[in-house]
Structures are given as structure tokens and as C-alpha cells.
Structure 1
Amino acid sequence: MSIGGSLPKDKRIGALVPEGRQEIEDTVRATLCDVLGLAPERVADFAPETPLFGALPELDSMAVAGLLTELEDRLGILIEDDDVDGDTLETFGALTRFASAKALQ
């Protein structure tokens, strides 16, 4: 698995195929590393049920804004304030599903 970079503009997913989902997951992992300063090895071990907000001291309320802004930039998506709720950042899987759903819009 490669952690780093962002999804190229021409690779933004209109109809997610398995490869597209993996690209989005890789982008979410890379963004967590870059924004929160987490070790790539640690993030590579994140499973869908891995808790994020409230479990990672690095992911405080200030970091949430930076993380979401960076995901917008890397995935070419727009995240409105009312798109995000407590469940969005509860687990790695929830965040990845959220990012995938936004990429489909």
C-alpha cells in the first residue's frame, strides 16, 4: 500500500469501482498522516472499525477543520458544514464512506 499524494483530477470518481474506492481510501489514509502527523505504518493498520475522533489525541476539533479542508482539496469535493455530524469522524470506515459518497456527487 502506498500512502501519500492525492487523487489526480482526472481520476476523480464519477462511478466508484473497486479501484476507485481503494484510491479514495489511500487518499484518506495519506491525508490523516499529513494533517495529523501520524506515522504511515500506524495509519496503514487502520481497519474500518478503528475509532478516530475521541480516540486519536491528534484529531481534536481544530484538526477536524484542517482534515476536511485537505480532503476537499485532494479529492476535489465540497464539504458543507451541515454535511458533517458526529458519525462522520467516528471511525476510519465512516470517514472513508463519507469521502466516497462525496466523490460520487
Structure 2
Amino acid sequence: MSETIPASLDTDLRALLADVLGLAPARAAAFTAQTPLFGALPELDSMAVAGLFTALEDRFGFVLEEDEIDGDLLETYGALLSFVACKRGHG
């Protein structure tokens, strides 16, 4: 995790993923920056992606633009955390 990303943001994102995807909190807590997400987590299917994006916007107070959404965004936990941090002005 980058030093510029607040630990609270990491904690909040893990909690959001656990809540939206129905993951055990311990499972989300075990994610590393390299943990693959889309295509690796059965809970994160194409139907769950829209709900996750809505939850990200609501929880973190930003708007996802269409041109920001691509396969890289959900490739790994680290990629998603970095993206959210950037949107929140921490990157």
C-alpha cells in the first residue's frame, strides 16, 4: 500500500467490499495489493460490479465517469484502492 493512502481509506474500502459482496470481514482483511478481484472473486460478477460502483460513489463521495471504468480498475485490490485514493485526492 502506498504511503500516501490513509489507513482509514484502506479499512473503509475493505469494509465496503465485504458489505457489498457479502464477504466475511476476515476475508476482505486478508486482501493484499496483488489480490485479484474481477474474474477471481466469484462474488464480484458482472451484476455485482454496478452495485459496487454505486456503493463506491455513495461511500466515498465521488462520481465515476464512464472513461474511468475499465478492466484495470478491478484487476487487483491495490488497483482499486489506488483509484479510490486518487479520486479522494490522496494520490
Superposition map of 1:64-79 within 5 A: 64-79=49-64
1:34 aligns with 2:16: no
Q: Deviations over 1:3-35 (max 9, x none)?
A: xxxxxxxxxxxxxx85x6212111110110010
Task: Give me the whole-angstrom Cα distance separating, in 1, the residues matched to 2:6 and 2:54.
Answer: 20
Superposition map of 1:10-89 within 5 A: 18=4, 21-89=6-74
Stretches of structure 2 that go unaligned for 5 or more consecutive residues are none
Q: How many residues align structurally? A: 88
Would you identify which runs of 4 or more consecutive aligned residues in structure 1 move more than 4 Å?
none
Give the one of 60, 83, 87 matched to 1:102. Answer: 87
Q: TM-score with structure 2 length normalisation?
A: 0.89
Identity among equivalent positions (%) equals 57
Taking only aligned residues, the RMSD between alpha carbons, in angstroms, comes to: 1.6
Q: TM-score with structure 1 length normalisation?
A: 0.78
How far is the alpha carbon of 1:79 from its aligned partner?
A: 0.7
3-state secondary structure, aligned to 1:98: helix
